[in-house]
Each structure stands twice: as C-alpha cells, then as structure tokens.
Homo-oligomer: A and B are copies of this chain.
Amino acid sequence: MNIDHKPKAVVLLSGGLDSTTVLAIAGAEGYECYCLSFAYGQRQAIELDRAAAVAEAAGVASHLVLRLDLDKIGGSALTTAREVPKHRSATEINSGIPATYVPGRNAIFLSHAAAWAEVIGATDIFIGVNALDYSGYPDCRPEFIAAFEKMVNLGTRAGSEGGGFTIRAPLMRLSKGEIIKKGLTLGVDYSQTHSCYDPDKEGLACGRCDACFLRLKGFAEARAVDPVPYQTDPEQKS
C-alpha cells in the first residue's frame, strides 16, 4: 500500500454554496475528491454548469454527472411547473416542508454516491446538508444521515465485507453565516456558485426565493458581500 496515496472521497456537488464549501473542506482534509452531480430534471439546469466550473477550479480527480428521471415522478416545485415560493421569512421557511422539497432526493443522491464510492474504493461520502438553515427538508436532518449510513453499510459489498462508508455532513450544525465564513477561509470563490430556485433566462438569481433569502442572510451574518449578481426587482422597477 502506498502510504503517500490520498484517501478518496465522493463529494455530492450541486454547484450551490453549501456543496462548494463542502468540496473545499474535503480537499483541505486531504481527500482526493470525486464529485457527483445529477441532471434530475431540475428547472434550473444552470446548476450543472456551475458544478462543472467549481469542480474544474478545484482540480478534482473526476466529475461525474448522472441522469435521473425525478421530473417523471414529480411532487416538487423544482422539477415541475409548480410555483417557487417567494418573500418568505426565516420563520416561515423553517415552519414546515416547502414546495421545493423533492421527494426522496437525498436518499437517491447518496445511494448513487455510495455505489460510485464502492467502485472507486472511496470510504467517505460528503454531502452539504444543514440542520439549521435547512429549509425544512426531512432528508437534511442528522437522524436521516445516520439512518442512511446504517442502511447503506448493510446493503453494499463495502459495508458487509470491508470497512464500509462514512457519510460526512460537515455543515450540519453550522449557520449559513458560519458556512460562508469557513468557505472564505478556505479560499472558496462564491462567484462560481448558484443558489437561486428561480433564476431568469440569463441565470441571474431572483433574490426573493428561500434559497436566495438564506444565502443573502448568510453573507450578511458573515459580514461579507455576495459576489453573484441579482436581478433588478421588477416590483422596484415598476
């Protein structure tokens, strides 16, 4: 065994603020990073362009994009024509499961990550879920991550014959402001990232959906300026 060889990790990368920060954390911990993104019928395909740019800038070992037919399953404002909610407060955002919830998404993403991890010999799987500013998604809770880790170690060769997988969620207990501060310390270029659920045709963020709200609140808390441009508010224009 080559002791100089870096351990491998699969990093779920959406091209958003959280997963980009997680990639920087995994890299700083010394992992050779294999990034995994999904073309899952999300309305804002711009995410995938940003994920590719982030992966390239980070010099990752590999960036795999897999297709999923989640739009055929439906049930989410992110994959169907349902309207993305706007202008919600932090209390409203955390008061229940929002329309942008995609049924089964993190279980599906993490299951694919584990499959790839098994094939390439990675032991760690990184995901940017967060239990504080988490938009009310049940599959971002620590109980879910722990249950997933147990399940996947029972259901794979790596788990039943080898040391198994560890699901790493380094942002779980951080506020959005703390995530951004950590990323800035690690040199993350947030101008490459995309968070908005409802960008315009040029890809400009709306500034009013839950994702934009949490992002902008996070930059404010981190006493930093968000480098991405936002749409001029049509309500302000008129």
Contact = CB atoms under 8 A, between A and B. Distances in A.
Interface of A: 64, 66-70, 72-75, 97, 101-108, 111-112, 114-116, 118-119, 138-139, 141, 143-144, 147-148, 150-152, 154-157, 159-161
Contact of A103 (B107, B138, B157, B161): B157
Contacts of A157: 97, 101, 103, 138
A103 B144 CA distance: 21
21 contacts: A64-B72, A64-B73, A67-B68, A67-B69, A68-B68, A73-B112, A73-B119, A97-B157, A97-B161, A101-B157, A102-B115, A104-B118, A104-B155, A104-B156, A107-B114, A107-B151, A108-B111, A138-B156, A139-B155, A150-B150, A150-B151
A57 B161 CA distance: 41
Given A106-B155, A108-B108, A147-B150, 17 more contacts: A67-B67, A70-B115, A73-B119, A75-B115, A75-B118, A103-B157, A104-B111, A104-B114, A104-B115, A104-B118, A105-B115, A108-B111, A111-B111, A138-B156, A139-B155, A143-B154, A147-B154
Contacts of A107: 107, 111, 114, 151-152, 155-156
A34 to B, nearest CB: 11
Interface centre among A107, A108, A118 (most CB of B within 10 A): A107
How many copies of this chain? 2
Contacts of A70: 115
A123 B102 CA distance: 18
A119 B156 contact: no
Contacts of A161: 97
A223 to B, nearest CB: 34
